[in-house]
Amino acid sequence: MDQSPIPLPVTGPARAEPRPVLSVVVPAYNEQEVLPAFHARLVPVMEAIGEPWEVVYVNDGSRDATLSIMLGLRDADPRVAVVNLSRNFGKEIALTAGLDHAAATEAVVVIDADLQDPPEVIPDLVAAWRRQGVDIAYAQRRVREGETWLKKATASAFYRVMQRIGGKVQLPPNTGDFRLMSRRSLDALLSLRERHRFMKGLFAWVGYPSVAVLYDRAPRAAGETKWNYWKLWNFSLEGITSFTVGPLKIATYLGLVTAVFAAGYGALIILRTMIWGNPVAGYPSLMAVVLFLGGVQLMTLGIIGEYLGRVFNETKGRPLYLVERHVPSDQRQASSAPTGRHLASPSGTSGASAA
């Protein structure tokens, strides 16, 4: 009997999908109401561009069915990638995680899932990027539909403050995260691994040639905004303290002015005592001075404490985020590892952490 082994068929490697030219990064937190509508509008827009693409959905510890919807979209569309963070880390970190896992060779688009930033503007960003040869095409709002006058006024005041204290790095007014970034500007951005991340400031800090693309911001399509006034206030403090040391300078100047005022007032009291004697001490004026100086000192200590707390968080050296699950797109599976530091788990999903 012939005992020669049966020859096995020779098979080549599985056909690899082309690596995406464009990646769309979409961070989401409790967006179950709007996510299907967003994807339904995104797909025809990206297909019309005519380049290989993927969309990276980042679930930032949602408490609703957002993750299930993302996984359903991945099952139905192989161009979808899903990054599920181990808990809620905040939008700035979730956005960073999405950018870390974007596989695009040429450019990445950042957009929110609430449809206030219309996906139909993406071709305008791509056209401006290709036509003018810039690295960043950022979407600048002409109008802000669906927002109260108070929110518009406070947003305008925030941008004015940032313009004044930003120094050499200037934030473009009426501009959010919605933008297109070239691969080289994205790689530069991802090299900045600080824990307290104000992405609008980091987008501006990396520089590179950029151009504005005007658009009309729409009202939220569904669901509720995650940004109440308290969160917006804390976000403003985060942006100011992580982007500039201006408050420390203001505290220094305020302390100097207060010291000069106190010295002048003390000299005036001494002069009046020498000329007219010492009348009955005025309790109200004494209390006013004590409370004023105490308030200035507490405010200055608070500002210093904000910066000291950020230094403390940076020195701990913890990763920016932890990934519970990473389901790559088909294009992603054929490409190299993400730019962000990343560890693959045995199951093939990512138990990634980015330092």
pLDDT at 288: 63
Same domain, yes or no: 199 and 292: no
Examine residue 4 and state whether it is found in any structural domain, yes or no.
no
Q: Which of 92, 104, 170 is nearest to 354 (CA)?
A: 92
CATH of the domain at 31: 3.90.550.10
User: Which one-letter amino acid corresponds to residue 196?
Assistant: H
Tens digit of pLDDT for each residue in 14-37?
Answer: 444 568 889 999 998 888 888 999
Same domain, yes or no: 75 and 133: yes
Same domain, yes or no: 311 and 322: no
Same domain, yes or no: 91 and 190: yes
Examine residue 17 and state whether it is found in any structural domain, yes or no.
no
High-pLDDT (> 70) share of the chain, %: 61
DSSP letters, 224-240, are --S--HHHHHHHHHHHH
Same domain, yes or no: 293 and 322: no
Examine residue 116 and state whether it is found in any structural domain, yes or no.
yes
Domain count across the chain = 2
pLDDT at 151: 63
Same domain, yes or no: 190 and 303: no
pLDDT at 84: 92
* 344 pLDDT tier (thresholds 50, 70, 90): very low
Q: Which of 159, 102, 111, 119 is nearest to 336 (CA)?
A: 102
Model pTM score = 0.67
Same domain, yes or no: 237 and 257: no
Q: By residue range, what is the domain housing residue 91?
A: 22-244+318-354
Examine residue 153 and state whether it is found in any structural domain, yes or no.
yes
Q: What share of the chain is helix, strand, coil (3-state, %, to 5)?
A: 45, 15, 35
Same domain, yes or no: 87 and 223: yes
Tokens, residue 44: 């025809």
Site of tokens 């900045």: 192
Examine residue 16 and state whether it is found in any structural domain, yes or no.
no
Q: Are strands 107-110 and 210-217 parallel, antiparallel or unpaired?
A: unpaired
Examine residue 9 and state whether it is found in any structural domain, yes or no.
no
Examine residue 10 and state whether it is found in any structural domain, yes or no.
no
pLDDT at 59: 92
Same domain, yes or no: 303 and 329: no
pLDDT at 58: 93
Same domain, yes or no: 142 and 259: no
Same domain, yes or no: 203 and 300: no
- Give 244 or 338, the one with higher predicted confidence: 244
Examine residue 7 and state whether it is found in any structural domain, yes or no.
no
High-pLDDT (> 90) share of the chain, %: 10
Ranges of H-type helices in 133-245: 149-165, 183-190, 199-205, 229-243
Same domain, yes or no: 182 and 299: no
